[in-house]
Structure 1
Amino acid sequence: MLIETKYDQQVEVKKEDIIQFDNGIPGFEDETEFVLVPFEETVFSLLQSVHTKNLAFMTAEPFYFFPDYHFDLPDSAIKQLDITIPEDVNVLVIITATDPFVKSTVNLQGPIIINTKNNRAKQVVLNDSSYTTRHPLIGKER
């Protein structure tokens, strides 16, 4: 299937590459199917809605920027995503890009958890008050 991205790119998507959010993403509960589109030669990717061209989120693996980032995944998320081993988990965070880019922020309080074995995903809201939804991407450590 061919989809258009937020950035007017056409991307060929295989059914097995579609990431399924059973309950959507908070604020976008009706959007349940996304794909990851890598930004060439960067650590960033676009979490693009399969059905809505203008709905996409810039994401990255948080450990590249925050090597000490850690949290306990709630049992309810483990069960919902049918996670059996930690190696099957991919963690992404949503980035709010700004101009200049050095002022961009990242949502460390709401990581996106993907079970890479079945492509089921969920944005998990952490109760850890040391993480914020607008943590500086570059500069300060938490």
Structure 2
Amino acid sequence: MRIETKFHATIDIDPTEKWYFPKGIPGFENETDFVLLPIEGSDALQVLQSTKQQEVAFIVANPYTLVTDYTFEIDSSTIDLLEINQPEDIMVLGILSMKQPYHKSTINLQAPLIFQVLNKKAKQMILNDPRFTVRHPLDKGGN
């Protein structure tokens, strides 16, 4: 499957690598199919790229590697939607807002992306947890 991407030009992807967001991403409800693409030179960052809209792409990272005290519980509606049976079935990523220099970048800890790795379903879950913000600095409470 060939797609146009924001950061990788035109690429071929394996359709089995697509992630399905049944309800889209808030603000992008019509975008339901995404792929995770590597960022050259970075093991920590990836691009969550829409398979339909070239300009819909987000820089994402594992929040647990950037923020030492990050923890939350997955709500029952997300567990049901994604058909999560055990913690090992999920991967969590956060959307970054990139700044120059890099240490001024922020990560959205208020709305993590939850990926069910067995069935390739995903959802952005809104936490409403006052401990975390949508623009959590990477240089505070992180590694």
CA distance in 2, matches of 1:67, 1:8: 31
Residues 37-87 of structure 1 show CA distances to partners (whole Å, capped at 9, x for unaligned) of 011341100000000011100000111111321101001100100011110
8 A contact 2:68–2:141 mirrored in 1: no
Aligned-partner Cα distance in 2 for 1:51–1:127: 30
SS at 1:102's partner residue? helix
With the length of structure 2 as denominator, give the TM-score of the two structures: 0.94
**Alignment match, 1:65:** 66
Match of 2:136 in 1: 135
**Structure 1 residue ranges, 4+ long, deviating more than 6 angstroms after superposition:** none
Identity rate, percent: 43
Counterparts of 1:12-23 in structure 2, within 5 Å, are 12-23=12-23
- The worse-fitting range, judged by mean Cα deviation, of 123-132 and 2-11 is 2-11
Query: In the aligned structure 2, how far is the partner of 1:125 from the partner of 1:5?
Result: 26
Is 1:33 the counterpart of 2:33? The answer is: yes
| Deviates further, 66-75 or 88-97 | 66-75
Greater CA drift, 114-123 or 96-105: 96-105
Q: CA deviation at 1:33?
A: 0.4
Where structure 1 has 5 or more consecutive residues not aligned to the other structure, the ranges are none
Moved more, 92-101 or 8-17: 8-17
5+ residue gaps, structure 2: none
Counterpart in 2 of 1:83? 84
By how many angstroms is 1:99 displaced? Answer: 2.1
Q: How many pairs were matched up?
A: 141
